[in-house]
Structure 1
Amino acid sequence: MVRSMGWREGRRAALLRSVCMLLLAGLAAPAGAQSEEPSNPPSTLPPASYPATYSEQRFIRMDDGVELGATITFPSENGSEPAPGRFPAVLNVTPYARNGACSCDSASDYATRGFVLAVVDVRGTGGSQGNLNENYFSPREARDGYELVEYLGTQPWSNGRVGMSGGSYLGISQYLIAEQDPPHLAAIAPIEAFADIYNDAAFPGGIESLFFDSQYLAVQGAPGLTGPNTEPSMIPGTLTAKYEQATGRSIAFDYLENPYEDSFYYERSPITHVSKIRVPVFVIDGWRDAFVGGNIRMYRRLERRKGVETLLNVGPCTHKGCGTPFDPTSNPPGVDNVEAHEMLFFQRYLMGMEVPSLPRVRLYDQQAEHYVETSAWPSPSTRFKRNYLGPETISAKLPAEASASYISDPAAGLSMTFDEQGTVAITPYIPIDQRVEEEQGLAWRTPVLSQALALDGPIALHLVASSTATDTDWFAKICDVAPDGSQSIVAEGQLRASLRALARGSTRREPLETLATPEPLTPGTFYDYEIAIAPTAYRFAAGHRLQLRLTSYNMPNALPGTIAFNGSEPATSSFVPLLPGTNTVRFGGTDGTSLLLPVSTDPSP
């Protein structure tokens, strides 16, 4: 909701320009219109309405006196000054230096289409003062975001409406800032954002993400030390910024000191205060992104709001897109131009334009290689079907009670060295044929499929198992087994056995653990574990088979143990490894292991 004096005048000017743009683009349609046929969202950006852009660098002062470096790019008629009029603003908040890596939206794309794009360095990075001590995703950062939105929404050139965009860190920050409820924030479009920083990123299932953390946390902050302000008048403030940045400690210490879910993570996780978000939200992600489960979880919570639009678009890509260099083995056809969708969304909510509605839920059906649209997630056509594990089989029929065992092996998991979490950092996604894991753990398969099997939703494993150790890890991988025997990874899930206690709100379809207090196992005792496997939209072709593999190591992605880290004296830190053990899985009978699959009943190919 906009609460700015003069907003109506700015809106009238924006609408006059909007009418011209609509006539040029041929896009005029009633607001909120819904198509009974599959929609045809835009594949290209709307035509530019300004020939040039004009940029300014400046400091923006926060309530505690810290000044943040910003670059603000305006529409321009001649490139030498801002165009007259009032415009909506789109805010990017980056820790990667706005004059460095940035990972920001295109200033030219937005400004030539009538938006003001403001890119601001997070405090302690780039050209901003302060340091990173406890600041990554902190309440202080969220407060900074509130003040930035209000600054932009009250400038003389502003129409009073501010949106936020960007992916990864820039997407996560949108949720946290929206939860502060700044009066001039009108809409957000978070891309590739998590819900729970502990479970979605640093310690999935309570297991430290070694490969991810060693890449991401160890180097995080370094990109922000580059990219100083280039405006000469900002030199004194820039010198202060660089001095203060150098006084901070590594953010990795904050995470290593907190190996279990606690208040440190709660206050940095968007899911904690998601109910405070009041503006329209366009959630964007990809099936091969490590954060997709968390971002869909945010969508599920947000779409319950009445009278506030919440949209979801999930493509086939990784955290850094499809194709080389970060996804060299895959480049699916027909991937949406999400920037074009995002701009349509902002035209509606920041400019007040009447534009075609975007689909409420739009998902890329993997293997089928096209998008499907539906009114909800999971789709109303999805039926959750319980399948039971037997001796090497997956079937709808309950088998006789039996069990199978394996010895936990530190060599397991190497086939997925370059997994989805790596692309959040700096390594590519390279899903190796899972046949290299055939000597590890246990595997179960469906019979050869007589017709295609489409999964559309979250997957859950109900595991009944024991271990001779006092703790172990469970890694569950769903694969597509082709007629030639090759095994392609579809989705994964994991859980540390000692952190099996379920959280409030956990369901059989979407398990959720507290991950707060370890409870050691009694060796030889069977326990029930509810393991969430990443959601997917995936079509198994006729003649293929669905496979579940269970192991207890996933090197080098997952740390097989716990670090007791001392940030004051790092040299005194210690590592407590998981001990080898024999793990036994029980299936059949009244309480056997089973797999809950989200089976689509939609007959479309």
Structure 2
Amino acid sequence: MSDDQKLFVPSQPLPAGRTGVLTPFEPGTRTLTAGTRIAPAFRALPVDIVLEKDVAVTLRDGVTIHVDLFRPTGTDPVPVIVAWSPYGKAQGTSPSVMGIFGMVGLDNSLVSGLEKFEGPDPAYWCAQGYAICNPDIRGVVDSGGDSVIWDRQEGRDCYDLIEWLAEQEWCSGKVAMSGTSYLAASQWFTAAEQPPHLAAINPWEGISDTYRDLVMRGGMPDTGFARQLQEGSFFGENQKEDIIAEAERHPLMDGLWENKIPQFERITVPAYVVASYSNTLHTAGTFRAWRRMASEDKWLRIHNSQEWPDYYDEGNREDLRRFFDHFLLGDDNGWEKTPRVRYSVLDLAGADRVAVPADQFPPADVISTRYYLDARTRTLNATAPTDEATVAYAVGGNPDAVSFLTRFAEETTLVGYPKAHLWVEAQGSDDMDLFVLVQKLDANGTPLQAFTTPNQSALAHDITERGASILRYKGSDGRLRVSLRHLDETLSTDEVPAHTFDRVEKLSPGEVVDIEIDLLPIGLAFHPGEQLRFIISGRHLLGTMMPGTREYTPANSGRHVIHTGGEHASYLQLPVQSA
């Protein structure tokens, strides 16, 4: 069984930088009066809020967790929104969370400090007639048991919490979930367990496959952020899962990792999903879950920034409230008329389009179009070259990449899923770690980029120059370890290839193999004269996801050869919107 494959290490106590005003274990009920500021930097409470602190909840296996409950005063039953994550339930006022708001350029006065990191703010939601439940999950802070990372166990635990909440006398029996990142990913797992009283979910960007999105994207053991997550969270009194050791012991897809993929076909609850094109950790997983979940009532909004500014934006919060009011309060507010998809088109020069309505994603007027690589001219063309040709780079050389260009003669919009179909050869090695990137250039060939957060300071430039890819968008990327190229026939589509990652197929000398690489979904506008550059490299072209994360060193040597034309017609497939 996959649970027997898990590895654990001792947890550590919550460090001072992660503690907030409400961190001390102080069970009891109190009222926070309107006008109260939990700490000086934060917003004053607009209404009186009842706080039930450190309430014990027993899970099905006997483990006790503790939750903080924020609810409106009064006796009318209210629905409750759960924020499920390993980030301590009282960290909203911690130096760590305040520092993250500062890093992205958000003022802490946007929130009350009562919210969990990346979660809904009780100050706002209690004023709208909702309760908020902030749990310390299994193994975290004062809760019992050993913690796990993005796992079906969390879905079962949250099921138990939801059903417990529904029975409380102050609860209407309607429970929802909301939040970004970890708080989004946990919603896939919970909804798949189908708790009877879960009425709606709001996953706001989050992974949906721990192997493919977190520890082994493209089959490469790029575990820098996983290490940061494991060592910088899950503080508690017992043990926490050692996902780094698991990745080393289980480099291929097996039962351990399958237990860390939600059962999408069991997600049937109404869902308001929020995504972006620019989050190199969350984008693929959010779109995957959106595609595969079975919910008939599901909405997708694709924004043009970063998840934290987007989540705490006043207009977006009101939009979410309309969704929750409809499904949790039964309001006949016209939410069902909301377009099922609202997508953005990035311009990277200040003219983004947002909230473009559509019935599906990609929109119905998108045509997957092949742009064939030509090694002789280094261009992308509508037809495959008749003659075969090759282009190569030496691993560790300068340059250590090859590019192909196309210039658009007319207005062109890409919306959907790009992929690369390449014929490749390794010289002096039996494997290749390949990285690809679709980049927008202006008419003069200058690469265009855009910050995703309000902070565009000198420090923001520094930390995003060779990393922190979620904070500055440089294009749509993909990657693949070539020995793990085997496609999953049941999951792959023409638009989105999916790999099994369950077998190793090394390369023989002189062997030319074809591979498919999925790139992150894209929404990008090209004006007449602007260009698209497609880059292939043995080096990670975007760097790390977050500042301070250890960078991955690809397992490459020798030369990488790209074949084009003739029987080896490599191409880049792009989702082109018809005019």
The yes-or-no answer on 1:541 pairing with 2:527 is: yes
Deviation digits for residues 383-404 of structure 1 (CA, Å, limit 9, x no counterpart): 1111111130101022122222
Deviation digits for residues 394-441 of structure 1 (CA, Å, limit 9, x no counterpart): 0102212222232342478xxxxxxxxxxxxxxxxxxxxxxxxxx222
**Aligned residue in 1 for 2:100:** none
The Cα shift of 1:127 comes to 2.8
How large is the RMSD of aligned CA atoms in angstroms?
A: 2.6
Find the partner of 1:595 among 565, 572, 576.
572
- The one-letter amino acid of 2:340's match is R
Find the partner of 1:255 among 235, 247, 256.
247
User: CA separation in 2, counterparts of 1:70 and 1:558?
Assistant: 34
SS in 1 for 2:305: strand
**Aligned residue in 2 for 1:444:** 404
SS in 2 for 1:93: coil
CA contact (8 A) 1:315 1:336 kept: no
CA contact (8 A) 1:457 1:598 kept: yes
The Cα shift of 1:176 comes to 0.4
**Aligned residue in 2 for 1:46:** none
- The one-letter amino acid of 1:500's match is R
Find the partner of 1:359 among 339, 352, 355.
339
Deviation digits for residues 43-70 of structure 1 (CA, Å, limit 9, x no counterpart): xxxxxx9832111111111122211110
CA contact (8 A) 1:408 1:553 kept: no
Distance 1:542 1:335, change over 3 A: farther
Task: Map residues 513-552 of structure 1 onto 2, 5 A cutoff.
Answer: 513-552=499-538
CA contact (8 A) 1:209 1:558 kept: no
- The one-letter amino acid of 2:366's match is T
The yes-or-no answer on 1:317 pairing with 2:295 is: no
User: CA separation in 1, counterparts of 2:438 and 2:122?
Assistant: 41
User: CA separation in 2, counterparts of 1:545 and 1:336?
Assistant: 36
The Cα shift of 1:152 comes to 0.8
The Cα shift of 1:536 comes to 0.9
- The one-letter amino acid of 2:533's match is Q
The Cα shift of 1:277 comes to 1.3
User: CA separation in 1, counterparts of 2:400 and 2:181?
Assistant: 34
User: CA separation in 1, counterparts of 2:130 and 2:287?
Assistant: 28
**Aligned residue in 2 for 1:329:** none
Find the partner of 1:339 among 291, 302, 317.
317
Deviation digits for residues 109-138 of structure 1 (CA, Å, limit 9, x no counterpart): 111110111111111112312222xx2223
- The one-letter amino acid of 1:128's match is S
Deviation digits for residues 510-555 of structure 1 (CA, Å, limit 9, x no counterpart): 1111112111111211101011111111101221111101011217
Distance 1:397 1:518, change over 3 A: same
Deviation digits for residues 331-376 of structure 1 (CA, Å, limit 9, x no counterpart): xxx9883322221111011111111323210111111412111000
The yes-or-no answer on 1:90 pairing with 2:81 is: yes
User: CA separation in 1, counterparts of 2:446 and 2:560?
Assistant: 26
User: CA separation in 1, counterparts of 2:240 and 2:314?
Assistant: 40
Task: Map residues 390-539 of structure 1 onto 2, 5 A cutoff.
Answer: 390=374, 391=376, 392-410=378-396, 439-446=399-406, 448-468=407-427, 469-488=429-448, 489-503=474-488, 504-539=490-525
**Aligned residue in 1 for 2:370:** 386
The Cα shift of 1:576 comes to 11
Distance 1:51 1:576, change over 3 A: closer
SS in 2 for 1:156: coil
Q: Which moved more, 1:479-488 or 1:249-258?
A: 249-258
Deviation digits for residues 283-335 of structure 1 (CA, Å, limit 9, x no counterpart): 11222112112211211123x65xx3100011112354479xxxxxxxxxx98
Equivalent residue pairs, number = 469
SS in 2 for 1:129: coil
Task: Map residues 91-110 of structure 1 onto 2, 5 A cutoff.
Answer: 91-100=82-91, 101=97, 102-103=116-117, 104-110=119-125
- The one-letter amino acid of 1:441's match is A
- The one-letter amino acid of 1:381's match is D
User: CA separation in 1, counterparts of 2:230 and 2:139?
Assistant: 15
**Aligned residue in 1 for 2:158:** 145
The Cα shift of 1:507 comes to 2.2
Distance 1:410 1:214, change over 3 A: farther
User: CA separation in 2, counterparts of 1:206 and 1:336?
Assistant: 39
CA contact (8 A) 2:393 2:402 kept: no
Structure 2 residue ranges without an equivalent (≥5): 1-44, 92-96, 98-115, 449-473, 546-551
- The one-letter amino acid of 1:258's match is H
CA contact (8 A) 2:395 2:559 kept: no
The yes-or-no answer on 1:289 pairing with 2:279 is: yes
CA contact (8 A) 2:402 2:536 kept: yes
Distance 1:389 1:599, change over 3 A: same
**Aligned residue in 1 for 2:270:** 280
Normalising to structure 1: TM-score of the pair?
A: 0.73
Distance 1:251 1:465, change over 3 A: closer
- The one-letter amino acid of 2:305's match is C
Deviation digits for residues 437-492 of structure 1 (CA, Å, limit 9, x no counterpart): xx22211001x322221100000111011112101111111111112322233200
Distance 1:138 1:249, change over 3 A: closer
| Identity over aligned pairs, percent | 25
**Aligned residue in 2 for 1:266:** 258
The yes-or-no answer on 1:220 pairing with 2:233 is: yes
Distance 1:498 1:444, change over 3 A: same
- The one-letter amino acid of 2:318's match is A
- The one-letter amino acid of 2:257's match is Y
SS in 2 for 1:108: helix
Find the partner of 1:185 among 194, 198, 222.
198
User: CA separation in 2, counterparts of 1:576 and 1:156?
Assistant: 55
User: CA separation in 2, counterparts of 1:499 and 1:187?
Assistant: 37
Q: Which moved more, 1:589-598 or 1:167-176?
A: 589-598
The Cα shift of 1:150 comes to 0.2
Deviation digits for residues 138-182 of structure 1 (CA, Å, limit 9, x no counterpart): 333221111001011111112111111111111111110111111
CA contact (8 A) 1:143 1:180 kept: yes
SS in 1 for 2:229: helix
The Cα shift of 1:580 comes to 1.1
Structure 1 residue ranges without an equivalent (≥5): 1-48, 77-82, 226-241, 324-333, 413-438, 560-574
**Aligned residue in 1 for 2:103:** none
The Cα shift of 1:218 comes to 3.8
Q: Which moved more, 1:579-588 or 1:382-391?
A: 579-588
User: CA separation in 2, counterparts of 1:580 and 1:369?
Assistant: 41
Distance 1:411 1:99, change over 3 A: farther
Distance 1:210 1:139, change over 3 A: closer
CA contact (8 A) 2:310 2:316 kept: no
Normalising to structure 2: TM-score of the pair?
A: 0.76
SS in 1 for 2:400: coil
User: CA separation in 2, counterparts of 1:249 and 1:546?
Assistant: 43
Distance 1:251 1:440, change over 3 A: closer
- The one-letter amino acid of 1:54's match is V
CA contact (8 A) 1:405 1:582 kept: no
- The one-letter amino acid of 2:67's match is A
The Cα shift of 1:210 comes to 4.2
CA contact (8 A) 1:381 1:600 kept: yes
